[in-house]
Amino acid sequence: MEKPNRMLESDSRLRPRARELRNNATKQETDLWFGFLRRRPEQWYRQKVIGEFIVDFYCPKTKLVIELDGMQHYTPQGLAYDEERARTWKAWA
């Protein structure tokens, strides 16, 4: 029997924030969603909670995450958050 992947369990406390991010998407996120991903045959999710993170786009069939980094990622807090997120994802890879 295959061991469940705990990383894919979502933190329900982040769902309201994910909904807020979906409703206030950046121009780049909106362009990618309406211009390409929404029409793909695979199912895609926007602002999907995975573990303790909210990812911009997620396709479960391909196990692919797409992150679009805006200016908020280039602040000291954003850089620290991205570094921690990358360490966490690498541990699960």
Write out pLDDT tens, residues 23-79.
Answer: 999 899 999 999 999 999 999 999 999 888 899 999 999 989 999 877 777 788 888
2 has pLDDT over 50: no
pLDDT, position 34: 96
Sign of CA dihedral 78, 62, 48, 92: negative
53-59 and 45-50 beta bridge pairing: antiparallel
CA 35/CA 19 separation, integer angstroms: 21
How many residues make up the chain in this entry?
93
Distance, in Å, from the CA atom of 30 to the CA atom of 36, rounded to the nearest integer, reads 10
Residue 88 CB contacts under 8 Å (≥ 6 apart), including other chains: 51, 52, 53
Locate the domains of the chain by residue range: 6-92
pTM recorded for the entire structure: 0.71
How confident is the model at residue 1, as a pLDDT?
45
The residue with greater pLDDT, 77 or 6, is 77
